[in-house]
Amino acid sequence: MKFIDTHIHLQDYKARYTTDILSSALSAGVTKFICCGTSPQDWDKVAELSRQGDGRIIPAFGLHPWYIEQGGLDWEQQLEHQLRLFPDALVGECGLDGLKSPPIDKQLDVFRRHIHLAKQYSRPLIIHLVKAQTWLEQMWQELPAKFVLHSFSGSPEFAAEVSRRGGYVSFGLSLFRHKRAAKLVQSVPQEQILLETDGPWQPLPSEDTSRPEQLPQLAQYIAALRGEDTADFAAAVYHNSEEFINVRK
């Protein structure tokens, strides 16, 4: 089985572990990674990892809602610069977070600027959404052609709505704690499912860090909940991931 970890922060692992992480990921069949930057402070590291990654590490650049205050005045110009430097880069991680500051008006403004750039450069958009469903529900018309709600932890009903609107729903290891996991994974058509670890964050309940080599376990869990064969499910999700990252489609 082959996998693409569609959301990971390789720059956040302790540097000496990154090589180990990548080689054990490869033995587990994880062939590619979308490495998500969260503020101008880590974009250079993301860029560097991508350059060293032999085409396996696809960069994404965004200003995460938690780090808006640290973004500086010219984050938008810097973001555009990275998108020009990396024609395969995605936009994100960005989005809306109802649990954290800054105020929602500021978050909406920053998020809309990401949407604008994603459309202008025809790039997929990686969205972080926590306790902010009602805001996103007023923005369906504004979103670019390709977008994903990463580490989806909302309701099955909302997941179904995201897929009706043409979005991808990405499941991570937090799914093992979701109370309605079965209903949730059954509410999304197979062709709109992606998988991720959000590593090193959001580990399995028994671990202190998440790693891409755990993706087969996640795929097996979801396939079982959906009543599908794990290998068939993994192959379909791999195909979805390739479709998602292909910026020319």
In the complex, which residues of this chain contact Zn ion (CB under 5 A)? 93, 198
Smallest distance, Zn ion to C-beta of residue 151, A: 7
Q: What whole-number distance in Å separates Cα of residue 33 and Cα of residue 35?
A: 6
Q: How many H-runs (helices) and E-runs (strands) does the chain carry?
A: 9, 8
Q: Which residue is nearest to Zn ion (CB)?
A: 198
Smallest distance, Zn ion to C-beta of residue 9, A: 6
Smallest distance, Zn ion to C-beta of residue 110, A: 16
The smaller minimum CB distance to Zn ion, of residues 47 and 94, is found at 94
The smaller minimum CB distance to Zn ion, of residues 233 and 244, is found at 244
Long-range contacts of 238-242 (CB under 8 A, 24+ apart): 238/1, 238/2, 238/3, 238/4, 240/168, 240/190, 240/191, 240/192, 240/193, 240/194, 241/3, 241/4, 241/6, 241/32, 241/194, 241/195, 242/4
Smallest distance, Zn ion to C-beta of residue 215, A: 15
**At 93, phi and psi to the nearest 5?**
-90, 130
The smaller minimum CB distance to Zn ion, of residues 110 and 223, is found at 110
Sheet of strand 30-36, all strands in order from the earlier edge strand to the far edge:
3-8, 30-36, 57-61, 90-97, 125-130, 147-149, 168-171, 193-195
Q: Which residues contact 207 (CB under 8 A, 6 or more apart)?
A: none
* Cross-strand partners of 94: 127
The smaller minimum CB distance to Zn ion, of residues 42 and 198, is found at 198
Smallest distance, Zn ion to C-beta of residue 50, A: 16
Smallest distance, Zn ion to C-beta of residue 227, A: 30
Smallest distance, Zn ion to C-beta of residue 38, A: 7
The smaller minimum CB distance to Zn ion, of residues 196 and 213, is found at 196
The smaller minimum CB distance to Zn ion, of residues 35 and 223, is found at 35
Q: How many CB atoms lie within 10 A of CB 204?
A: 17
The smaller minimum CB distance to Zn ion, of residues 5 and 213, is found at 5
**At 182, phi and psi to the nearest 5?**
-65, -50
Residue 122, SS3 per DSSP = coil
